[in-house]
Chain A
Amino acid sequence: MDASQRPQLDKKKADINYILKEAPREQHFITGAQAMAEAVKRANVDMAIAYPITPQSEVMHLVGDIYAQGHIKEYYRAEEELGTMSAIAGAARAGVRLFTATSGPGLLRGLEAIVSWSGHRVPAVLGILTRVVNAPLSIQPDNIEMAYMMHCGAVMLHAENQQDTFDYTLAAFAITEKVDVYIPVAVATEGFFVTHAKGYVDMTADDICLNDFDPVAAPVPAMDNETPPARIQRDAPVQKSNFMSYLIHSVWQQEIWDSNKRAMKYIYEYLGGPIEVQNPEADVFVLGSGCAAAQCREAHRYAQEDGLSVGFVKVKAIRPFPTQEIRDALKNAKAVIVPEHNIIGWLCKEVKAAIPNGGIVVEGPRVYGGMTLPVELIMKEIHTALGLEYDLKL
């Protein structure tokens, strides 16, 4: 049976503001993978394309299940990651709502297609369930692939836990489809730590879903030969090396990064802003994103119990990067500790570049290759920054 002939479920369609902010919610105890798939279920996705890689597979298995239940119209396993990401780009030209997900090496295999999504104005949502990038071979969590993803024009959100994964994924569909954005939105969270662990998630009912995708409300027409202006060569390559080639490419690239910046107002609208700040008058701050933010939150709690002057910043949006928000939050800081789940410290580099006194940034602690981030390591840095002794016991 053709996908178009499958019976559709009778669901109530609603605006994203209603779904995210007003619809009644019920608490569930589910994994991060389930939370992402449940968000996809409520996003009224037309088509999902899957390819397995640990630890992402769990998400796309569950998306397959919800396709079988009729919540998604079309779903298939593609040949490999580049084929998956290219098929998403092809389907986007026809004007449908799309979802796929990947992890670590899979993201790198598909990266050639992914980096062209923004330039091709592909409004798709990409789940990144983070994992080590080889070698030596490992399937463990680590978020180094996000460093490679940061420069392709896509909007990037980094979820701390299962609840964030649900909310950010739903919001991502709304953000990517805004006419003044219309570039892909990636929602990242740590593989295993979040994807395979359970947490409490407040969810809306699954008989309410997002309004249908409207391919006409787009800055570029769908290539369906139905949407005026017809017969425009939307994707003609920029020919050879000459001034026009340079001009077209540069103007388009600037527009993509402007689109990325324009996503910020929707990050405020749907996620309450790109950062969360606690104890803004503190001397020392711990700042993190994703799972590292959860550990920073714990360290902040310990510090409060000990009466230390410590503040907390969680970064929700990696792209557009909240430069001004972080600068404002840290304007009186004497030290900023940036724990991370990767070896190169991509978040630390971004924070250093964002504030005028980058020398106050403490690089680390960092763990990678699958290790959890002990709160004690963060406490050690807090004590050092405050000039206090700390007896580190792991």
Chain B
Amino acid sequence: MSLKYITPAERFKKYLPKDYVELVDYGPFGKTQDEAGPGNMGQFKELMEEHPMCSGCWMAYYIRLIFASLPQPEETVTLGTAGCGRLAISQAAVPFIYGNYGDQNAMASGLTRAFRLRFPDKHKDVITIAGDGGTMDIGFSMTMHSWIRGEKFTTIMLDNEVYGNTGGQESGMSPKGAILKMAPLGKKGEKMPATDLAKAAGCVYTVRMSPTNIKKAAKIIRRAIFVAREVGPTFIHAYTSCNIEYSIPTEDVFADAKEKEKTRFQFEEYMTDEAKAVIERVEAEEKAAKRAKKAEVV
């Protein structure tokens, strides 16, 4: 995209909504991660307005982190489905497609292929961001088949281990034994092995994590996007607790995320050789650019 499209003519600036002008003047578009990455995300109002999620929502934090980590927000389209997440995703200043229940990966398949037809010489990053219900239950077939077909986009699952938006029902990703609505005697089955399924279905880069470390989480998001551009489907399975349905006091949300890191969300990163080559190349390029910039300043 030409950044010209979002740059207002100087003389019209005062007539434009303040939010729009801030987007252009202070937004992350066209900037590097050092200039506008997660380390600075607090300063970019346009990344997301005051979010409409519950107080202490760990998912809202992670969604901000996704937007702050995008390699090219000006060339990115996000897709989501019903659930808490879409409330925050839809108000970020990156195009968002809200489809039908759980069909985000099917829509992303069509979108990615069509983008490649229209813009063969450009990277248009496509990312699906959906909850555990949308990704692994209602959208399971569409998620799996997009991976099996080798569709080149990134799937991010916001796993809060429950249907938060509809009021706390068990999902396939809820842990065994959890007493939740629609599981009044405790969930019978095991938590679905999402990353194993992703690997078996052909994802070339998968990560399971509790995103407690901002820098590490941002690096993972970028890796997933870079690899999807060139190699194939990538998947991030991130813990984003529902502090309401699991009754986690607001002040304990971070501690809970740290705790989960030791159990169900132990860090696990898998990549194929082809994916590894892309990651090493891109990160070496980024380092070189950084060094060059430093040398320029000195």
Report the Cα distance A94→B118, complex, angstroms: 8
A75-91 contact mask (Cβ, 8 Å, vs B): 1 or 0: 01011101110111111
Q: Does B119 sit at the interface, judged by CB under 8 A?
A: yes
Q: Pick the residue among A4, A74, A86, A225 that contacts B106 (CB under 8 A).
A: A86
Q: Does A116 sit at the interface, judged by CB under 8 A?
A: yes
B82-117 contact mask (Cβ, 8 Å, vs A): 1 or 0: 000011001101111111110100111111111111
Q: Pick the residue among A4, A79, A96 that contacts B145 (CB under 8 A).
A: A79
Q: Does B264 sit at the interface, judged by CB under 8 A?
A: no
Report the Cα distance A51→B201, complex, angstroms: 20
Residue in A closest to B97 when the chains form the complex, CB atoms: A235
Q: Pick the residue among B52, B114, B144 that contacts A96 (CB under 8 A).
A: B114
Q: How far is the CB of A390 from chain B (nearest CB, A)?
A: 51
Using a CB-CB cutoff of 8 Å, which residues 48-84 of chain B contact chain A? 52, 74-77, 79
Report the Cα distance A50→B23, complex, angstroms: 41
Q: How far is the CB of A94 from chain B (nearest CB, A)?
A: 3
Q: Pick the residue among B107, B118, B119 that contacts A86 (CB under 8 A).
A: B107
Knowing A76-B149, A225-B75, the reply to whether A233 touches B96 (Cβ < 8 A) is yes
Q: Pick the residue among A83, A226, A235, A239 that contacts B142 (CB under 8 A).
A: A83
Report the Cα distance A230→B4, complex, angstroms: 10
Q: Does A297 sit at the interface, judged by CB under 8 A?
A: no
Residue in B closest to A82 when the chains form the complex, CB atoms: B103
Secondary structure dominating the interface of A: loop
- A93 in contact with B149 (CB, 8 Å): no
The 10 tightest CB contacts between A and B, nearest first, are: A90-B107, A91-B110, A87-B110, A90-B110, A94-B114, A79-B145, A86-B103, A86-B106, A4-B120, A90-B111
Q: Which residues of A contact B (CB under 8 A)?
A: 2-5, 46-47, 49, 73-74, 76, 78-80, 82-84, 86-96, 112-113, 116, 215, 223-226, 228-237, 239
Q: Which residues of B contact A (CB under 8 A)?
A: 1-2, 5-6, 23, 52, 74-77, 79, 86-87, 90-91, 93-101, 103, 106-120, 124, 141-142, 144-145, 149
Cβ contacts A to B, 17 pairs, < 8 Å: A3-B116, A82-B103, A82-B106, A82-B142, A83-B106, A87-B107, A89-B103, A89-B110, A90-B79, A93-B111, A94-B115, A94-B117, A96-B118, A116-B99, A116-B100, A225-B76, A237-B98
A47-B113, A93-B97, A235-B98 known; 16 other A-B pairs, CB under 8 Å? A4-B116, A74-B113, A78-B109, A83-B142, A83-B145, A90-B106, A90-B111, A91-B110, A94-B117, A94-B118, A223-B95, A225-B75, A225-B124, A231-B6, A233-B91, A237-B98
